[in-house]
Amino acid sequence: MSRVILISGGSKGLGLAMVNGFLQQGDMVATFSRSLTEEIKSLNKNPTYLDSFFYQNCDICDAVALQDFVKTVHNRFGKIDVLINNAGAATTQVSTLIALDQIDQILAINLSAAIKLTQMCTRVMLTQQHGIVINISSIIAARGYAGLSTYSASKAGLEAMTRSLARELGSKGIRVNAIAPGYVDTDMSADLSKKQLQQIIRRTPLAALATAEDVFLTADFLASNRSQSITGQIITIDGGLTC
């Protein structure tokens, strides 16, 4: 039986790679974002995914709209097997200059809304007696990066939530893990200059950046029974940069 996978922020970047990866395997996938991309438009039109793909416009910070999305997904597919907290935002700015509303916004998107979405989905998972939560963190949570203190705080919070929830929900058949990618070529990392990227690659043991496909393959592993004894863990995908 196909899994039902709910992915926040699946319109581009890592989220879109996971949407495509799971759909191509025959899973049912539901996702949302604030703006519609060409990729989502073409998935919406693809007859192969008529019954297995669902997209809704939604701002993760709007708790009412978020609850409506989760209810619609549950009604449409009848269950939620996997939640992937992927939606995220970053602003590179030194801590003395970052605008106060930007601090609130990054924490709201990356942390508070992810906690709320997890509550909404795990309530469904508790009734099913099974479920899997995967939080997309970042190597910056553990290592830090100048100019990303708010972002790193939000991701460290997500990792702390991962461990506590794994303890809380393990006995109910729900596993909770996180993936911490290094630098992946998406809109979010587009601010890095060619020079900065080359420096990162030089310092990376495997001499290459991780790809969105690498993140999907790990999410697929964590979303399957092959990882049935793994919970409360943070899995780093960075070519060895932080080893």
Ligand X SMILES: NC(=O)c1ccc[n+]([C@@H]2O[C@H](COP(=O)([O-])OP(=O)(O)OC[C@H]3O[C@@H](n4cnc5c(N)ncnc54)[C@H](OP(=O)(O)O)[C@@H]3O)[C@@H](O)[C@H]2O)c1
Integer Cα distance of 69 and 89 in angstroms? 20
For ligand X, the closer CB: 78 or 208: 208
Q: How many CB atoms lie within 10 A of CB 25?
A: 14
In terms of Cα–Cα distance, which of 97, 184, 186, 194 is closest to 146? 97
Tell me which residues touch ligand X (CB under 6 A): 9, 11-15, 33-35, 59-61, 86-89, 109, 136, 138, 181, 183-184, 186-189
Inter-residue long-range contacts of 72-79, CB under 8 Å, 24+ positions, other chains counted:
73/4, 73/6, 73/30, 74/124, 76/30, 77/4, 77/28, 77/30, 78/4, 79/4, 79/124, 79/128
In terms of Cα–Cα distance, which of 109, 106, 107, 135 is closest to 122? 135
Closest distance of CB 34 from ligand X, Å: 3
For ligand X, the closer CB: 169 or 184: 184
DSSP state of 218: H
Closest distance of CB 139 from ligand X, Å: 7
For ligand X, the closer CB: 49 or 216: 216
Using DSSP's 3-state secondary structure scheme, residue 134 falls into strand
Residue at shortest CB range from ligand X: 13
Integer Cα distance of 117 and 136 in angstroms? 13
For ligand X, the closer CB: 171 or 195: 195
Residues serving a catalytic function are 151
Closest distance of CB 149 from ligand X, Å: 14
Closest distance of CB 173 from ligand X, Å: 26
For ligand X, the closer CB: 33 or 227: 33
Closest distance of CB 65 from ligand X, Å: 9
